[in-house]
């Protein structure tokens, strides 16, 4: 029962001290509601303004691709080193421990595979996304493909539904045989995602011109890693991307297909969060790799 007598009188009003009104650290996100900003601040580090997202949603279009044959063995050891996990609802329920405490960027669109035509997709039920406690909803936008209209409708629809519940949306610029990955295309596709309401955009690194892609996108951009590269080159790409304006990576194959994935994700973190140069990050990778190998010989 509330006490009605003996309470201390309120007196510390801080008269003359203006109430702080902080601006939010991610670009384009200052006017979002509290729940959206809270979810974004779980994904992106307020210290560095960046994120290392681990993408392992490939199975939804590619099946058991290399490195994802047994996600319980390959992905679970990486979870501790990721800021955010990007995966399907299947992988989430099947292998991701609910005790991991990591924010989830849930793959919220699906519909076709590499065996037919990519990008002919529908979106998940928003209640399912809420049930899974998604922190972000990832939807493909196949700009310039014959499924452009379908996927932009998916994007706008999930933005509307996510907005009702304070869940931000990741616009994923699509892959596809007919889609080029130059700065002109990627800046158009990224901007279309942002203008249609995406709170974060995932696209590809390109050279030359990535700084223009990042600058002309009014929300944070994260880069996919793409096909597996030698580790040194993948770290170079991550470095160039963040140096030219990316707010981090949403990387899959270049982590889980690396010779030493746990060492690799830590080296990527070094680049994204700690400002390591590619050669320093590669040295970190080699050091972690060597100490893991020594431990396994003991």
Contact set with ligand R5P (CB under 6 A)? 55, 57-58, 86, 172, 175, 224-226, 250-254
Residue 228 a catalytic site member: no
Q: 32 or 85, CB closer to ligand R5P?
A: 85
For residues 115 and 178, give the distance between their C-alpha atoms in angstroms, rounded to a whole number. 15
Q: 52 or 224, CB closer to ligand R5P?
A: 224
Of 20, 177, 202, 212, which one is the catalytic site residue?
202
To the nearest 10°, the Cα dihedral for 14, 17, 19, 25? Answer: -130
CB of 172 to ligand R5P, least distance (A): 5
CB of 114 to ligand R5P, least distance (A): 11
CB of 204 to ligand R5P, least distance (A): 8
Closest CA relative to residue 201, chosen from 176, 224, 219: 219
Please calculate the CA angle 229-231-237 and round it to the nearest 5 degrees.
70
Residue found under tokens 């981090």: 248
Q: 32 or 91, CB closer to ligand R5P?
A: 91
DSSP state of 98: G
For residues 285 and 272, give the distance between their C-alpha atoms in angstroms, rounded to a whole number. 14
101, 80 Cβ separation under 8 angstroms: no
CB of 157 to ligand R5P, least distance (A): 19
Q: 40 or 223, CB closer to ligand R5P?
A: 223
As annotated, the active-site residues are 202
């Amino acid at each position: 029962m509330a006490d009605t007598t003996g309470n201390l009188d309120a007196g510390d009003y801080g008269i003359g001290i203006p109430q702080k009104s902080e601006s939010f650290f991610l670009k384009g996100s200052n006017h979002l509601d509290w729940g959206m900003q809270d979810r974004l601040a779980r994904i992106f580090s307020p210290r560095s303004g960046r994120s290392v997202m681990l993408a392992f949603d490939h199975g939804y279009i590619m099946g058991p691709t290399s490195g994802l044959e047994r996600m319980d063995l390959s992905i679970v050891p990486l979870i501790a080193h990721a800021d955010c996990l990007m995966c399907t609802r299947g992988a989430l329920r099947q292998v991701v421990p609910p005790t991991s405490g990591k924010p989830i960027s849930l793959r919220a669109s699906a519909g076709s595979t590499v065996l037919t035509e990519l990008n002919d997709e529908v979106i998940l039920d928003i209640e399912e996304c809420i049930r899974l406690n998604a922190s972000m909803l990832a939807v493909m936008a196949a700009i310039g493909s014959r499924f452009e209209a379908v996927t932009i409708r998916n994007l706008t629809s999930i933005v509307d539904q996510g907005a009702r519940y304070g869940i931000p949306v990741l616009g994923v610029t699509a892959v596809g045989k007919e889609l080029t990955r130059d700065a002109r295309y990627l800046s158009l596709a990224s901007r279309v995602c942002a203008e249609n309401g995406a709170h974060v955009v995932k696209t590809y690194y390109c050279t030359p011109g990535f700084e223009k892609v990042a600058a002309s996108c009014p929300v944070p951009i994260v880069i996919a890693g793409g096909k597996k590269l030698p580790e040194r080159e993948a770290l170079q790409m991550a470095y160039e991307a963040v140096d030219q304006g990316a707010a981090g990576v949403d990387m899959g194959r270049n982590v889980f297909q690396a010779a030493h994935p746990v060492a690799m994700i830590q080296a990527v973190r070094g680049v994204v969060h700690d400002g390591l140069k590619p050669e320093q990050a590669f040295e970190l990778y080699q050091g972690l790799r060597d100490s893991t190998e020594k431990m396994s010989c003991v």
